[in-house]
Chains A and B, each alone.
Chain A
């Protein structure tokens, strides 16, 4: 009996069912996942993450993510950091979407604790984990330092991130290691995923490492051993994804 399936109305299809994943639906999904952009119609190209109204995060949560991710990927000699790359927006939109709701995960109880090899066993979705964990980290900061994470000096911020990474902070039901791993994973995603998802702004992450983006033909280039590839950076929505996200195409 597949109540859940029919409840979710994910489409139907017999022969050549209509629920295909087409580019069109992909574009729609990007748009749907970026309602703030859709409404504003003109996200600034080089603004900080705060310039966009978060969809899932509260303003305080967004401030925390801004500060934490900027320590994980700082601005330095090699270029902009998480904030310049739009990572808070990226994570916000991810949490507001299917990933944040753990739509594809098996989320039926019971929920006993397992061993490391058995992987994730929390009854919380990623969106819930962020909300709960950020609240507890901020409470920890106020208790230890009398101010929120974003107002700590960078050294203290790094210390706290290291403590989370090692599982040395009590976040209630959520192991600090789990939260840190999720935050760091999503931060890397925001830096290195296609700019169509609103992170990796101006190809910040790809420029750092030298990945040219989704190009489909290296037949002639692959034999040019040792030579850098020179074609311009490109995303799934073209060479200037910000133009797409502004609704210009």
Chain B
């Protein structure tokens, strides 16, 4: 299960979740490509497809790669990813470069129907035409899989494709990324990746009732499925304010850094996507993210003393073995909880989900271990987890909101209904 799945927006259907990289791109850090040969185009396309983590959505559990069929739950209903293999009848084998570009750039399929924005065309629209071409070149090399797409299960009027025209009109502006001349090429490359192929705000941005990302605060933290993707802005408490550029590079490249380790959906994003990015691209992303200002801080209510005592006892009994006293964690092994932006995120859902389900650090070539945490869903009840997470979010100088029993209960039920 991947963060990028429930993506931003509501629903999607569409078929291809694709990606891209390059506009400003091309002249920033990837090598300047004037006229790439077919091999170079395919190789670059593979890089972009990984950068966009296309496979995560477009492959069903135990299914053939890129053949679609993966259920994507949205608040509005279930949609299914589509077959983007080159199969002529059920995939995109008959699509030409212009068809594909229109889907990526405008969210319109070859037959003219509008795609649901669970397919991240609101981000992919930023991609350069060359990058989109390379993505298609790579997809064309994949094994053809004959597998029909599954119709979305959506209520009226969303089931009417035409309804998406209204959505697009309200929330979508097509347009390739335009470099900000006041910023460095590196910054622009980072912005291109983050806002485009990386579609980071799909998870890390707040969504409105219609599932569109808040354009004014696109990286201020948001829900991705059942977990909260923390802010990527400059907040020192719950953002990246205390992270160095190198910390960001390490995190995206290996799933961990001196501060924390990737957990939950982001662990999968690292292992399937960001770890394949080049060091210059990771650094460009870091430069861009570090330029984002800190948002104003909310007022935080202090937890009840009895809750803190209960939480402290549970922390001693359940957590100290690895995260150590004072939430210091162990550098390189177990993430610190003290001073952690993930722990202090505006919403506690990721923390709660990690406790309920357990988790593992992504295993990468550079970091093969995959250190894991057991699930505590059987051992701790809702009240326990509420007290424990409240404690962790307010102990040792941490400063984040109180967690209620109902918060835990809701999430536990959601995860139970949808274990993925």
A–B contact (CB under 8 angstroms): yes
Are A231 and B316 in touch, CB under 8 angstroms? yes
Q: Among residues 276 to 335 in chain B, which have CB atoms less than 8 Å away from a CB atom of chain A?
A: 313, 316-317, 320-322, 324-325
Q: Is the interface of A mostly helix, strand, loop or mixed?
A: loop
B216 part of interface (Cβ distance < 8 Å): no
Shortest distance between the CB of B353 and any CB in chain A (Å)? 17
Q: How far is the CA of A216 from the CA of B323 in the complex (A)?
A: 11
Q: How far is the CA of A24 from the CA of B379 in the complex (A)?
A: 9
Are B317 and A24 in touch, CB under 8 angstroms? no
Are B320 and A216 in touch, CB under 8 angstroms? yes
Residues of A within 8 A of B183 (CB): none
Are A249 and B379 in touch, CB under 8 angstroms? yes
Total contacts A to B, CB within 8 angstroms?
36
Given A23-B374, A237-B379 in contact, is the A232-B325 Cβ separation under 8 Å?
no
Residues of B within 8 A of A234 (CB): 317
Residues of B within 8 A of A239 (CB): 313, 317
Q: Among residues 23 to 49 in chain B, which have CB atoms less than 8 Å away from a CB atom of chain A?
A: none
Shortest distance between the CB of A239 and any CB in chain B (Å)? 7
Closest residue of A by beta carbon distance from B381: A249
Q: Among residues 181 to 237 in chain A, which have CB atoms less than 8 Å away from a CB atom of chain B?
A: 215-217, 219-220, 231-232, 234, 237
Most buried by B among A216, A220, A232: A216
Are A216 and B325 in touch, CB under 8 angstroms? no
Given A23-B374, A23-B379, A249-B379 in contact, is the A219-B317 Cβ separation under 8 Å?
no
B417 part of interface (Cβ distance < 8 Å): no
Q: How far is the CA of A215 from the CA of B321 in the complex (A)?
A: 8
Residues of B within 8 A of A248 (CB): 381
Q: Among residues 14 to 46 in chain A, which have CB atoms less than 8 Å away from a CB atom of chain B?
A: 22-24, 27
> With A217-B325, A239-B313, A249-B378 given, can you name 10 additional A-B contacts, CB distance below 8 Å?
A22-B374, A24-B375, A27-B378, A215-B317, A217-B320, A217-B324, A219-B324, A249-B379, A249-B380, A249-B381
| Those 8 A-B pairs whose CB atoms lie nearest each other, nearest first | A216-B321, A217-B320, A217-B321, A249-B381, A234-B317, A27-B378, A24-B378, A220-B325
A–B complex contacts, Cβ < 8 Å, 16 sampled: A22-B374, A23-B379, A24-B378, A27-B378, A215-B317, A215-B321, A216-B320, A216-B322, A219-B324, A219-B325, A232-B313, A234-B317, A238-B379, A249-B379, A249-B380, A249-B381
A contacts, CB < 8 Å to B: 22-24, 27, 215-217, 219-220, 231-232, 234, 237-239, 248-249
